[in-house]
């Protein structure tokens, strides 16, 4: 595996973890234990990426879906 492929793989794992976090927040709420586990997993991957100097790839489908969830939550909060 080349360095470029490794970076893409780490970015993919981070995007999947971020999407899972946002899905869990949407389903269970921000303070639920499942959400906390998802958050811890994502934070671990993000910390590794920061140490290695790898940036998130917001163009990945998982990150795009997470952005949709975030936008929907923000829009819902604005309505209240």
Q: Please give the chain's pLDDT, 80 residues, in tens.
A: 999 999 999 999 999 999 999 999 999 999 999 999 999 999 999 999 999 999 999 999 999 999 999 999 999 888 76
What pLDDT, on a 0 to 100 scale, did the predictor assign at position 77?
82
For residue 79, the model assigns a pLDDT of 74
CB 20, CB 14: distance < 8 Å: no
CB 24 within 8 A of CB 36: no
Q: How far apart are the first and last CA of the chain?
A: 49
Residue 50 belongs to what H/E stretch?
helix 33-52
């Amino acid at each position: 595996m080349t360095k470029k492929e490794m970076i893409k793989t780490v970015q993919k794992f981070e995007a999947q973890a971020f999407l899972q976090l946002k899905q869990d927040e949407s389903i269970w709420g921000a303070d639920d234990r499942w959400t906390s586990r998802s958050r811890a997993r994502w934070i671990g991957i993000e910390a590794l990426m920061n140490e290695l100097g790898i940036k998130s790839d917001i163009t990945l489908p998982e990150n795009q879906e997470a952005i949709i969830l975030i936008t929907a939550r923000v829009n819902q909060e604005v309505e209240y």
